[in-house]
Amino acid sequence: MAAPRKSDGDEATRAFFKHSTAKRVDTDAVIATALTRQYPNLDLIIAPSYGADLLGFAGAGHASYTMMENDNENLPSSLIWKNYIPPARRLDGNSGGIAQTVSFAKLLYKWNDFEVLLYMVDGRDGTGPYPEVRNNYILTTDTHKAEALIVAAGKWTNELHEEVWVWDGGFWQKSADLYRSVMKASWDAVILDSEMKDAIINDHLSFFDSRDSYEQLKVPWKRGLIYYGPPGNGKTISIKAMMNTLYKQKDPIPTLYVRNFSSWGGPEQAISQIFTLARRTAPCYLIFEDLDSLVTDQVRSYFLNEIDGLKSNDGIFIVGSTNHLERLDPGIAKRPSRFDRLYFFPDPDFKQRVAYCKFWQAKLKDNKTVEFPDELCEAIADITHDFSFAYIQEAFVASLLAIASADKDKRVFNGKGSASGGEDDEWVVASSRGHLEGLKLWEEIQKQVAILRESIGKETSGNKLPVRSK
């Protein structure tokens, strides 16, 4: 790279700080003009950092850079914020870290054997809810190599690196936390009717394996499902388990997860950008949780047009979930080619409740303080009729915490293994399963089920929980 012309200080630096002393309008033009004057022998290429994150690209080990000083002692060489990032979890045991936000910097940037002079400049203009703009100003004598650098950094920037695309707050973000959570999700933890579970899995896998079949049939290679039913019965965990399955395919299928339709340009712009990335990423898995709260009357027609309009959605598998199917417009819930099939997630029946108890039994098999015989699974399933999986989980968690707390505090248990209090304790539940009396988990879980029934307005008869037949 040719040496820059000597000047009285760094003209671009002076221009930036002078321009920032008042309301900024068209920062890009100001910086480009200053750089062109300062480096007349170099070509200027401008690339927004949201499309090509050169710092992130270097941070991942694909390039390197060094900060450069300017010639004017009266102005700083850079304007960089050092932001403290607290640990994701206090129990992680670390003190957090430092992330930097660059408003202005001058760097010598090296990619392989190619060097460029790089200015990074915050281009926010005016006031208001405008998106953040940070531009890379690349000065070089070889525009072809500079463009190749932009392509390489842009490709890296737009790829997922053990992350999930999440639309939240008006733009796409990469979430490593959600990815880690998804990697822990398993179909083993999803208690559904076996035929329904197999149908859901096959629905997804056959779609992504059947592009040629769709083309031969001359039908669009796209599909949509709706998961619906009362809350707490496996819709979200089924989505996460499916995400895990798709990430582990020979050709991993990325997920795009939509939390809202917020955007500085309004919900229509959010929907447009959501589907733009989905089309660019396809084949992909596009998730809309709580679909009834997302698709309001204001955006319904725009949303439907993006799903089933003139633009191609080939390779996009859409799943929407809702606790309130009746709130969805019929054009969404009852129109194949938009959402082709509906899967109902009801409160679990007796067989499923037993299966869920067996899931907990397996989790607790190494716990030496909790006795959990096979017959206890049916007993708990009996008294949790009309409960969602979420409520049964809460009964288990609360019971185990109570047992652990009692053991820790060295509370005295009576001969039957229940908390001291006598036969007329208001939480002791009459039971026909006398052979289970004396088990801490059984005594405690009956109490917690009674509390939960009261909290959700379920009627009980005295202190006996009604038992539904199998």
Cα 70 to chain centroid distance, Å, stands at: 42
CATH number at 174-344: 3.40.50.300
For 457: left if phi > 0, alpha if psi spans -120 to 50, otherwise beta; the answer is left
3-class state of residue 79 by DSSP: strand
Concatenating the DSSP letter of every residue in 206-240 gives: HHHT-HHHHHHHT--S-EEEEEESSTTSSHHHHHH
Spans of all domains in the chain = 11-159, 174-344, 350-455
- How confident is the prediction along the chain (470 residues), in pLDDT tens digits per residue? 554 544 456 888 888 877 777 776 788 889 999 999 999 999 999 999 989 999 999 999 999 999 988 766 677 778 888 888 787 777 667 788 888 888 899 999 999 999 999 999 988 766 555 556 789 999 999 999 999 999 999 999 999 999 999 999 888 999 999 999 999 999 998 999 999 999 999 999 999 999 999 999 999 999 999 999 999 999 999 999 999 999 999 999 999 999 999 888 889 999 999 999 999 999 999 999 999 999 988 899 999 999 987 788 999 999 999 999 999 988 888 877 789 999 999 999 999 999 999 999 999 998 888 899 999 999 999 999 999 999 999 999 999 999 888 776 544 444 444 433 333 333 334 444 556 777 899 999 999 999 999 887 744 444 444 444 44
* CB-CB contact of 299 with 327 (8 Å): no
* pLDDT value, residue 263: 83
DSSP H or E stretch at residue 403:
helix 389-408
Q: What is the pTM of this model?
A: 0.78
What pLDDT is attached to residue 6? 47
* 8-state DSSP, 288: E
What does the block give as tokens for 297?
């009357």
Q: Is 358 helix (H, G, I), strand (E, B) or coil?
A: helix
What pLDDT shows up at residue 1?
59
Q: Which two tokens stand for residue 311?
A: 């633009």
CA distance 238 to 228: 12
Is residue 304 classed as helix, strand or coil in its secondary structure?
A: helix
Inter-residue contact 344 to 235 (CB < 8 Å): no
C-beta atoms surrounding 340 within 10 Å: 14
Strand partners of residue 286: 256, 318
Q: Are the C-beta atoms of 229 and 223 separated by less than 8 Å? A: no
Q: Which helix (H) or strand (E) holds 399?
A: helix 389-408
* Alpha-carbon distance values, 191 to 118, 223, 349, 412 (Å): 55, 24, 11, 37
**Tokens in use for 82?**
């050092």
Long-range contacts from 19-25, C-beta under 8 angstroms, 24+ separation: 23/126, 23/127, 24/124, 24/125, 24/126, 25/125, 25/126
